[in-house]
């Protein structure tokens, strides 16, 4: 089953209170430091510090252990290979690095809410605003979050249908319907967005005269959803819907 | 600028839904023969073959951003930065370049009209998808080898399967997985061909095929949903 709940839990530990950019900077700095140094004492020190930081955020136990089990298996593989070669120092260093970085990454994830992380992403993406306006980024993230259960359901239904036909071993019977339905769902969603005038930034930037025509069109149509958020160089907010809708209602009477 | 103009509702919906599809597929495994495999690679290649380079890059980037932000979308139900910073993170980064390369090839196929014929389209799409394998491993394997302290290439003295000289990024991190990747790419090519049959015009090929003179995105949308 697919859950959208990560390992973040609200709490008031020091790492929870630290700003997201500081935590990301710390993760980056310590990752580079631990990869650059090959001294086992430093490595083990960093490992202990990172594990303590992870424990200090009081993450959910089961999910954290699951997350660490994978990296621990890899670390044991890597260290085992070095021990096999007879290089115990390198084994300690490598395994320490691997576990330290992932423990720190888990600590950051478990102490930073999705909203804080998204704020950071939006701020980092600010230089790209000519290609990707921040509103579009937010819309993309929101749509993706909503579409994950939908995509999972499409996959599950295709599987059930394939099993009902006795074709559960045939990947085509599962994946062609789910792929086609996914695209179909996306196209319907796109039409719904288009119909509501959401995410039409590209068109507004395309040509000024067309924009004027679009605005004229808009004045006629009663808006059912949020008014389109344009880049709005003038900063004016379209306040079309209220008087328009009232006018139409009166006309109907 | 070209990308900005392409930010229509349809493109945004396709990018978001395919990012979600990759996320869902990463957590589902299906059984081919006897081996259960996850569908992550399949979904990435499918996105590239269906969406073309820029939208596929957007979908994969969005998937990685969702993971980095903390939504448990990576395989294993573990979200967050631990996977991206871990030794296998290189494969996820490699998906980005693979999406662009395979997407560009798919778009080229569509523009040259090679997706119009039914039998040939599948073969061409599988061919384009196969390019993803070296591209992903070109980033993933060195990353894995460096993080795990393995040499990238097996030395000359490598003799047998259990010789300790033979442990390397190539022999442990690449070779065992390539057969499964080839299977996934073939399946992705078959599925992508079916999708292009069902929704012609996703890559702008319908415009060419029907000879329509309109250059507007809405018309492309109309073709795609027709």
DSSP assignment of chain A equals ------S------HHHHS-HHHHHHHHHHHHHHHHH---HHHHHHHHHHHHHHHHHT---HHHHHHHHHHHHHHHHHHHHHHHHHT-HHHHHHHHHHHHHHHHHHHHHHHHS-HHHHHHHHHHHTGGGTTTS-HHHHHHHHHHHHHHHHHHHHHHHHHHHHHHHTT-TT-HHHHHHHHHHHHHHHHHHHHHHHHHTTTT-HHHHHH-HHHHHHHHHHHHHSPP-SPPP----TT------HHHHHHHHHHHH-
CB–CB of B88/B160 below 8 Å?
no
Tokens representing B103 are 């997407």
Residue B225, min C-alpha distance to chain A (Å): 7
- pLDDT at position A58 is 82
pLDDT at A190 over 80: yes
pLDDT at A107 over 60: yes
Same domain flag for A118 and A139: no
A94 part of contact set with chain B, CB < 8 Å: yes
Decide if A2 is inside a domain. no
Per-residue pLDDT reduced to its tens digit, B106-119: 999 888 877 777 77
A167 part of contact set with chain B, CB < 8 Å: no
Query: Which of B47, B78, B166, B196 would you mutate first to test chain A, the one with the most A CBs within 10 A?
Result: B78
- Chain A CB contacts of B77 below 8 Å: 3, 63, 66
Q: How is residue B32 annotated by DSSP?
A: E
Residue B35, min C-alpha distance to chain A (Å): 10
Strands B35-38 and B29-32: antiparallel
Residue A25, min C-alpha distance to chain B (Å): 13
CB atoms within 10 A of CB A216: 9
Rounded CA separation A49/A47 (Å): 5
Tally of residues, chain B = 226
Does the beta-carbon distance from A172 to B187 stay under 8 Å?
Answer: yes
Same domain flag for A108 and A57: yes
Q: Which of B69, B81, B147 faces A27 most closely, judged by CB atoms?
A: B81
pLDDT at A96 over 80: yes
CB–CB of B124/B113 below 8 Å?
no
Size of interface A-B (CB pairs under 8 A): 261
A18 part of contact set with chain B, CB < 8 Å: no
Query: Which of the residue ranges A39-53, A205-219, B99-113 would you say has the lowest mean pLDDT?
Result: A205-219
Query: Which of A182, A194, A196 would you mutate first to test chain B, the one with the most B CBs within 10 A?
Result: A182
pLDDT at A105 over 80: yes
- Chain A CB contacts of B27 below 8 Å: 2, 152
Q: Which of A77, A101, A123 is the last residue of a domain?
A: A123
Same domain flag for A18 and A62: yes
Same domain flag for A155 and A247: yes
Does the beta-carbon distance from B221 to A148 stay under 8 Å?
Answer: no
- Chain A CB contacts of B18 below 8 Å: 182, 186
Rounded CA separation A231/A205 (Å): 8
pLDDT at A2 over 80: no
Q: Which of B42, B86, B167 faces A81 most closely, judged by CB atoms?
A: B167
Decide if A235 is inside a domain. no
Q: Which of B17, B77, B167 faces A186 most closely, judged by CB atoms?
A: B17
- pLDDT at position B63 is 92
Decide if A147 is inside a domain. yes
Does the beta-carbon distance from B82 to A106 stay under 8 Å?
Answer: yes
Tokens representing A206 are 């395309």
Decide if A31 is inside a domain. yes
Same domain flag for A204 and A116: no
What is the phi/psi pair of residue A192, to 5°?
-65, -40
Same domain flag for A74 and A162: no
B35 part of contact set with chain A, CB < 8 Å: no
Closest chain A residue by Cα to residue B19: A144
Q: Which of A123, A152, A186 is the last residue of a domain?
A: A123
Domain containing A65 equals 14-123
Same domain flag for A247 and A147: yes
Does the beta-carbon distance from B72 to A109 stay under 8 Å?
Answer: no
Same domain flag for A149 and A100: no
Same domain flag for A24 and A117: yes
pLDDT band at residue A87 using 50, 70 and 90 as cut-offs: confident
Q: Which of A66, A91, A123 is the last residue of a domain?
A: A123
**B209 vs B3, B35, B197, B223, CA distance in Å?**
23, 40, 13, 11
**Residue that has been written with the tokens 């060195």 in this structure:** B142
Decide if A236 is inside a domain. no
pLDDT band at residue B21 using 50, 70 and 90 as cut-offs: very high
Same domain flag for A51 and A106: yes
Decide if A230 is inside a domain. no
Per-residue pLDDT reduced to its tens digit, B147-203: 877 777 766 666 555 555 666 667 777 777 888 889 889 999 999 999 998 888 788
Rounded CA separation A122/A140 (Å): 12
- pLDDT at position B167 is 65
What is the phi/psi pair of residue B31, to 5°?
-100, 120
CB–CB of B94/B40 below 8 Å?
no
Non-local CB neighbours of A110 within 8 Å, separated by 6+ positions: A6, A7, A8, A9, A54, A57, A59, A60, A64, B80
Q: How is residue B37 annotated by DSSP?
A: E
- pLDDT at position A4 is 59
Q: Which of A106, A156, A191 faces B80 most closely, judged by CB atoms?
A: A106
Domain count, chain A: 2
Same domain flag for A31 and A72: yes
Higher-confidence residue of B100 and B206: namely B100
Domains present along chain B, CATH in parentheses: 2-204 (1.10.1760.20)
Query: Stretch A215-232: mean pLDDT, rounded?
Result: 46
Closest chain B residue by Cα to residue A93: B149
Same domain flag for A144 and A97: no
Residue A221, min C-alpha distance to chain B (Å): 19
Does the beta-carbon distance from B82 to A67 stay under 8 Å?
Answer: yes
CB–CB of A241/A222 below 8 Å?
yes
Tokens representing A210 are 């067309």
CA B180 to chain centre: 14
């Amino acid at each position: 089953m697919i859950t959208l709940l990560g390992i973040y839990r609200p709490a008031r530990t020091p790492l929870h209170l630290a700003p997201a950019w500081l935590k990301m900077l710390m993760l980056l700095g310590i990752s580079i430091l631990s990869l650059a140094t090959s001294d086992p004492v430093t490595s083990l020190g960093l490992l202990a510090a990172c594990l303590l930081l992870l424990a200090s955020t009081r993450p959910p136990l089961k999910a954290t252990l699951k997350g660490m089990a994978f990296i621990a298996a890899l670390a044991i593989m890597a260290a085992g290979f070095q021990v096999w070669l007879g290089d115990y120092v390198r084994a300690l260093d490598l395994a320490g690095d691997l576990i330290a970085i992932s423990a720190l990454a888990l600590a950051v994830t478990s102490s930073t809410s999705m909203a804080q992380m998204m704020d950071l992403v939006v701020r980092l993406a600010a230089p790209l605003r000519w290609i990707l306006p921040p509103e579009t980024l937010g819309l993309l993230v929101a749509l993706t979050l909503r579409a994950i259960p939908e995509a999972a359901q499409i996959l599950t239904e295709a599987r059930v249908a394939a099993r009902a036909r006795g074709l559960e071993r045939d990947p085509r019977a599962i994946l062609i319907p789910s792929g086609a339905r996914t695209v179909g769902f996306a196209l319907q969603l796109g039409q719904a967005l288009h119909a509501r005038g959401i995410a039409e930034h590209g068109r507004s930037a395309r040509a000024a005269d067309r924009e004027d025509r679009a605005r004229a069109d808009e004045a006629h149509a009663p808006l059912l959803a949020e008014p389109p958020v344009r880049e709005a160089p003038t900063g004016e907010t379209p306040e079309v819907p209220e008087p328009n809708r009232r006018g139409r209602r009166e006309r109907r009477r | 600028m070209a990308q900005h103009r392409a930010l229509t509702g349809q493109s945004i919906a396709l990018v978001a839904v395919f990012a979600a599809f990759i996320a869902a597929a990463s957590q589902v495994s299906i059984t081919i023969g006897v081996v259960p495999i996850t569908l992550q690679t399949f979904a990435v290649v499918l996105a590239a073959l269906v969406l073309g380079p820029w939208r596929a890059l957007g979908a994969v980037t969005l998937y990685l951003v969702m993971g980095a932000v903390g939504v448990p979308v990576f395989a294993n139900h573990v979200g967050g930065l631990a996977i991206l910073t871990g030794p296998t993170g290189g494969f996820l980064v490699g998906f980005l370049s693979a999406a662009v390369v395979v997407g560009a090839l798919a778009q080229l196929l569509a523009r040259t009209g090679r997706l119009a014929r039914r039998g040939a389209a599948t073969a061409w799409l599988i061919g384009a998808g196969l390019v993803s394998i070296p591209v992903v491993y070109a980033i993933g394997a060195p990353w894995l080898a460096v993080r795990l302290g393995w040499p990238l290439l097996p030395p000359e003295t490598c003799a047998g399967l259990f010789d300790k000289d033979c442990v390397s990024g190539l022999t442990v991190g690449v070779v065992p997985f390539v057969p499964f990747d080839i299977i996934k790419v073939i399946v992705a090519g078959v599925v992508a061909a079916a999708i292009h049959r069902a929704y012609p015009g996703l890559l702008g090929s319908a415009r060419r095929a029907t000879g329509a003179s309109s250059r507007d995105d809405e018309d492309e949308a109309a073709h795609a949903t027709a």
